[in-house]
Amino acid sequence: MLFKESEEGVKIYKLQPVQILALGFAGVILLGALILKLPISSADGTSTPFIDCLFTATSAVCVTGLVVVDTGTHWSTFGQFIILLLIQIGGLGFMTFATLFAIVLGRKITLKERLVMQEAFNAFNIQGIVKLAIYIMGITFSIEGLGAILLSTQFVPEFGWKRGIYYGVFHAISSFCNAGFDLIGDFKSLTPYVENPVINLTVMGLVIVGGLGFGVITEIINHKNMKKFSLHSKVVLLTTAILIATGAVMFFVLEYNNPNTLGALSFKGKILSSLFASVTPRTAGFNTINLPDMTTSSKFLTILLMFVGASPGSTGGGIKTTTAMLIIMTVYAVIHGREDTEMFNRRIPKEVVYRAIAITFISFMLVIGVTMVLSITQSGDFMEFLYEATSAFGTVGLSLGLTSTLTNIGKVVVMLTMYVGRVGPLTLALAFARKQLMTSKSVKYPEDRILVG
């Protein structure tokens, strides 16, 4: 119910937790855009066009990484710090930071705020949700700190102590939050470090951990034995491993002899690049090889990985690993004549299966719709449009070069897609999950059949 009847008979507008999350993200984006609009935020001291500021803020809060101006050269240190702050807020969720401030100020967390936090974390209940938020922040800052130290060991010798540490911190946070923003400059991303094992492995590790979901990370830390993991964590870990391994092998085979990507690299470089190309489409947005030079088959494989994305309750987007695996296992059950979808000797409720199918279908139609709009408003080929649309929806940040040439209409379309990709799938999942709160029909119509397939 959006309206609550008061004693005086006046309808009072009442927001649901999901709506608070959606409006909260929008508010943070707008505030970030206004700050980036200030002359102090740009490197040359001039005011950046608002549409570009809004695009950058949307990409940062939605932890996407698509940029219309180069992060490393266009923005000042202040502007880059604002972008980094937006990335951290977008990755952890604004409610996490609101909770932190409330605790510091000694204010009690209300039931409504706990419900919003439950929605943000994809938690099953609100019991211990505040402690979970604090625990998540501690884990996040610890992992990002470790990543920053490892990356700084590579950046400090090249850029000096001050800039090297700054680069280490920025890229560690951007990696863990699956944002894909970089400071290397000239839209090069991490291509200068294609054969650097420390940078490659550190960034991949941060991306993978950030994409698992905070609930899974908590279980890994608290339970050493995988047999004690929840079904959700088992599915996330299995699906993540399958996607990374399969993607790496396929990229290695498809690009092995391509002189513009893996062909000129050493064998070590080929292995690292193949793994990196498999990990980062899972909503991270970094790249170590030139994406437009990849084969068509590799580009399409990247699109598939971007569409799946990360896992529920993580810093990433996409339809999520559990949704994809659930669809696959449902198809398997149908082919084998089974009535229920089963995973790890557990039966999955039909309403969860229906929700997964609905999310996948709606997400697919969204990507197709955005691709169609881009094909009308932009110049380019179909692969570029589909790649851009999927990257925006999956909050990935990879591009074949279309982002920097977007028209104002194209920028608005991509911004909305990033926003829906960050908030929409979660909102849809939570909305469908409220079946128990909805009034069910007491009348069931007669059953009949139609032909399918």
- State residue 225's pLDDT score: 75
- What is the per-residue DSSP string for 6-42? -TTS-EEE---HHHHHHHHHHHHHHHHHHHHHSGGGB
From residue 387, how far is each of 175, 368, 381, 396 by CA, in Å? 21, 11, 10, 10
pLDDT tens digits along 107-121: 566 655 555 555 555
Largest CA distance in the chain: 76
Tokens of 88: 């951290």
12-16, 49-53, 154-158, 209-213 — which is least confidently predicted? 12-16
**Alpha carbons 121 and 112: distance in angstroms, whole number:** 14
pLDDT in tens, 227-284: 788 899 999 999 999 999 999 999 999 999 999 999 889 999 999 999 999 999 988 8
- pTM for the full predicted model: 0.86
Q: Residue 438 pLDDT > 90, yes or no?
A: no
Nearest alpha carbon to residue 291 among 187, 183, 425: 187
pLDDT band at 9 (very low <50, low <70, confident <90, very high): very low
3-state class (DSSP) for residue 75? strand
- pLDDT given for residue 128 in this prediction: 59
Residue that the structure tokens 């890229």 belong to: 171
Between 146 and 99, name the one with better pLDDT.
146
Q: CA torsion, points 357, 419, 84, 155, in degrees to nearest 10?
A: 50
Q: Is 171 helix (H, G, I), strand (E, B) or coil?
A: helix
The helix/strand/coil state of 364 is helix
Structure tokens at 221: 């830390």
